[in-house]
Amino acid sequence: MGAVAALTVGMLTAYAAAQGTSTKGEPDLAAPQSFDAIPDQAARSAAMFSELGRVLTHPRCVNCHPAGDRPRQGDQARLHQPPVERGADGHGLTAMRCASCHKDANFDPGRVPGHPEWHLAPREMAWEGLSVAQICAQIKDPARNGGRKVEDLVHHIGEDTLVGWAWHPGFGRTPAPGTQKQAGALVAAWVSTGAACPQ
């Protein structure tokens, strides 16, 4: 992306951020239309992925997509206490299965987040420590994204209820930026403009 385009994206993002602020103080996600002024389609696509990157690099997502074998907790992404591990299927070792603590829904009195499918993303889907450009390359690679086409990501990010937990994370946790619907709209627009990755 050229310097001019990069500058434009920065201005647009700042503009979009000024348009709305969610209840927790996280700026909303920019809508796909706010990138219309970028004439080059690949640059526009990449700019939309960069905006989506604010979600993908958020601790609500990365804590479940860690580089190692242990999940992370909280906005500081500290190592999970007690020291649980992913195990063979991502649901934990035999002695400490995720579901023994993580129930079907958040349990706020105990600060325990919940969902019926609560488990770690497989190691090849780790995002911890990656740049947004690296996550983009990985998320497009069927060998590292669970065999998905980019089109499948529209539904997965926009509608999957485990992903959706990140916007309703329960007691004391900062939700992912914007709404799941806005994130889904960005993915759809990114795909329809050729799913280009930022540099």
Residues in the site for ligand HEC, rule: CB under 6 A? 55-56, 59-61, 63-65, 71, 73-74, 80, 82, 84, 86, 90, 92, 96, 98, 100-102, 111-113, 118-122, 125, 139, 145-146, 153, 156-157, 162-163, 165-166, 173, 176
Phi, psi (rounded to 5 degrees) for 33: -65, -25
Nearer to ligand HEC, 17 or 61 (CB): 61
Q: Closest CB to ligand HEC among 23 and 94?
A: 94
Residue 1 Cβ, how far from ligand HEC at the closest point, in Å?
23
Chain centroid to CA 38: 24
The one-letter amino acid code at 47 reads A
Cα distances (angstroms) measured from residue 118 to each of 76, 114, 142 = 20, 7, 23
CA distance 124 to 129: 13
CB of 40 to ligand HEC, least distance (A): 25
**What distance separates the 2 farthest-apart alpha carbons in the chain?**
55
Buried/exposed code over 18-37 (b: 16+ C-beta within 10 A; e: otherwise): eeeeeeeebbebbbbebbee
Q: Considering the complex, what minimum distance in angstroms separates the CB of residue 11 from ligand HEC?
A: 26
Least distance (Å) between residue 28 CB and ligand HEC = 15
Pick 6 or 97: Cβ nearer ligand HEC: 97
Q: Residue 78: enclosing H or E segment and its boundaries?
A: strand 78-79
The least CB distance from residue 137 to ligand HEC, in Å, is: 11
CA 75 to chain centre: 14
Question: Is the CB of 38 or the CB of 157 nearer to ligand HEC?
Answer: 157
Q: Looking at beta carbons only, is 32 or 92 nearer to ligand HEC? A: 92
